[in-house]
A and B are shown apart, each in its own frame.
Chain A
Amino acid sequence: MNRFLPLRFASRRSWNHDQRQRRAGGSALEQIPRYAAIIAVLLTTNVHANDSDQSSLSDTINWHGFLSQGFTYTDENNFLGSSSDGSFKFNEAGLNASWRANNQLQFSAQALYKQIGNAEPKGIQLDHAIADWRVIDTFDFGAGLRAGRLKNPYGFYNETRDTAATRPSILLPESIYIDYLRAVLHSSDSVGIYGHQELKTGTLSFSAVYGKPILNDQIISVLINTYPGVPTRGDIRDELAKAYRLDYEDASGQWRSAISYIIFDGNFTPGTGEPYSAGNIRNEQLLFSAELNWQDWQLVGEYQIRETENNGILAVDFNKKGTGYYVQLGYHFTSALKGYFRKDTVFLDDSDKSGKKLELESGGAFFARDAFAKDYTLGLAYQPSFEWSFGIELHHVNGTFWLPDLENPDVINQEKRWNMLLLQAAYRF
């Protein structure tokens, strides 16, 4: 069902759009030329960006980039495109530059092309654009201010979620990093403060970001949970996202942990003649993260407490408290080859884990299986070099919580249990 708030109704419009595209002869492969421009830039840029022999880094620009292509196949349901026929609609390409004007001042920016499933690709986006002023900088303590389009500090993976090589698996745990809500939580036009303190046994870091998330029409309909076939042309105003994270990392890298808190708040104003009222949307998440490294083993887990409020907009207010969590156990066969197993679980409503109440109270608009998702993942990741990584992943999923209706418009026939095979090749520099 893919939402903190139900997404189903909003997605139906998009399905029609997708049908039109398909009738016009679209195919998975057709998407590839769309990011050919970025590939060209990546390949022609000096890939040893940092190896240049300038006499000083302070007057040079550092270039980095990444590119990945996934393939998805599902036995039941569709994910990341029309995957029951095999889908290539999971790819990302980015190019970034950073320049350190002096010890205190750094500027960086990143362009990103990303396609996730049948959601309409948005072309090349400005992913981040940051002015970073390091106010204090000693060996023991550092602190500074940032402004611009900043990634929200949230959990272990949010800030680098689009760079395949930084993810612990092909697909991030959907319980916590729901791909289809990326727009709300990923980044904001904002200001931030950050700092770190070196302690005897490790490093304590802090980051806070306060700003305006980058919303689009599709996300607004998702957030307010529109009625079937009645999309909104309304607007969200006074939207604010605040994100805070406190990290502790053991000095030897044996373990690390973090607490993150993110809150999104906005006021909805409907378009004229729409069956919606002005109201408030609020989404609050508290996340605990921990990672333990021991010999060739790695254990990672994150636990999320989520509260969603949607007041005054619909005939019946939509308020839910839910949780999401995963545990991933990884094993390095060699330094380049890693195997992993993960169990990822999410509940829409902690007081209704089976979803029976949801099915009953919604009068059949939702199914019990929409209230949860349990994802068992088995994967292999091969990283022969810094630049290249390849992955294969098998998922067995029970539940449709994060299954996008956009790819599965025949909601009645969505399967509760489904399996997925994912392949990915990625390059970066």
Chain B
Amino acid sequence: MHKQKKYLLWLIITLLVSTFHRPGFAQDVSTSGGEIIIVHPANPTKTLTLNQARTIFSMRARQWPNGTPITVVVLNDQSPIHKAFLRNVLRILPHQLRRNWDRYIYAGIGQGPMVVDDPLEMIEMVEKIPGAIGYIEKGVPHEQVLTLTIR
């Protein structure tokens, strides 16, 4: 019993310390004007719920309602735009997405997303691949693709 109290004390101390610490790593991403979801120009889906968007980017759903296979396009994990998109639009922790992808990739029970190097390549891929979905920062020209809103 005494031991358990000791652990509890340590837990409380660490939690207290953390509240006075600088903002968390999840917060320290630079955000310009926000991020938007883009899809292939032929995609008839105009809106998604937040949870549907999370399901798609987590790679759990494999097809659009019309049967077109979903291709998720993302920037690399370290990209500030990627982090900002997860934080501001999907509102999830980056490692949660990565953990799900890793299980699919390394246990063979799914697939990971397509990773591109920069926003221009992102737009190019989303334009080219039917069923593709990605994201860009607001203000980046994107006439070739459609945007999709979270309702």
Q: A residues near B, CB below 8 A?
A: 48, 50-51, 53, 55-58, 62, 64, 66, 94, 96, 98, 100, 102-103, 106, 108-110, 128-130, 132, 134, 137-140, 142, 146, 151, 159-160, 162-163, 165-166, 194, 196, 198, 200, 203, 249, 251-254, 293-297, 329, 331-332, 334-335, 385-386
Question: Which one of A100, A253, A386 lies within 8 Å of B77 (CB-CB)?
Answer: A386
Pairwise interchain contact A251-B25, C-beta atoms closer than 8 A? no
| Interface presence of B18 (CB below 8 A) | yes
Pairwise interchain contact B78-A386, C-beta atoms closer than 8 A? yes
CB distance from A136 to the nearest CB of B (A): 11
CB distance from B6 to the nearest CB of A (A): 11
Query: Which residues of chain B are within 8 angstroms of A293 by Cβ–Cβ distance?
Result: 93, 95-96
Query: Which residues of chain A are within 8 angstroms of B105 by Cβ–Cβ distance?
Result: 62, 64, 96, 98
Question: Which one of B65, B69, B76, B113 lies within 8 Å of A139 (CB-CB)?
Answer: B65
Pairwise interchain contact B18-A331, C-beta atoms closer than 8 A? yes
CB distance from A118 to the nearest CB of B (A): 26
User: Roughly how many angstroms separate A100 CA and B113 CA in the complex, as a whole number?
Assistant: 13
Pairwise interchain contact A62-B96, C-beta atoms closer than 8 A? no
Question: Which one of A109, A166, A200 lies within 8 Å of B51 (CB-CB)?
Answer: A200
| Interface presence of B91 (CB below 8 A) | yes
| Interface presence of B120 (CB below 8 A) | no
Query: Which residues of chain A are within 8 angstroms of B115 by Cβ–Cβ distance?
Result: 48, 50-51
Pairwise interchain contact A296-B61, C-beta atoms closer than 8 A? no
Pairwise interchain contact A295-B24, C-beta atoms closer than 8 A? yes
Pairwise interchain contact B106-A253, C-beta atoms closer than 8 A? no
Pairwise interchain contact B129-A56, C-beta atoms closer than 8 A? yes
Q: Report the interface size for chain B: residues with CB under 8 A from the other chain.
A: 57
CB distance from A145 to the nearest CB of B (A): 12
A-B contact pairs, 14 of them (CB 8 A): A50-B112, A96-B106, A102-B69, A110-B108, A132-B108, A165-B102, A166-B106, A203-B55, A251-B51, A253-B95, A254-B93, A293-B96, A297-B18, A331-B14
| Interface presence of B103 (CB below 8 A) | yes
0/1 string, B83-99, CB within 8 A of A gives 1: 10000000111111111
12 A-B pairs besides A98-B111, A142-B60, A253-B95 with CB distance below 8 A are: A64-B112, A98-B108, A108-B109, A110-B108, A130-B108, A166-B102, A254-B93, A293-B96, A297-B14, A329-B11, A331-B18, A386-B78
A107 nearest in chain B by CB position: B108
Pairwise interchain contact A296-B18, C-beta atoms closer than 8 A? yes
Q: Which 10 A-B pairs have the closest CB atoms?
A: A253-B96, A108-B108, A253-B93, A159-B107, A295-B24, A335-B25, A128-B108, A296-B24, A163-B106, A139-B52
| Interface presence of B15 (CB below 8 A) | yes
A64-B105, A331-B18 known; A50-B93 Cβ under 8 A: no
Interface centre among A249, A253, A293 (most CB of B within 10 A): A253
Query: Which residues of chain A are within 8 angstroms of B102 by Cβ–Cβ distance?
Result: 160, 163, 165-166
User: Roughly how many angstroms separate A108 CA and B69 CA in the complex, as a whole number?
Assistant: 18
| Interface presence of B116 (CB below 8 A) | yes
Query: Which residues of chain A are within 8 angstroms of B9 by Cβ–Cβ distance?
Result: none
| Interface presence of B63 (CB below 8 A) | yes
Pairwise interchain contact A334-B25, C-beta atoms closer than 8 A? yes
Pairwise interchain contact A50-B130, C-beta atoms closer than 8 A? no
B15 nearest in chain A by CB position: A297
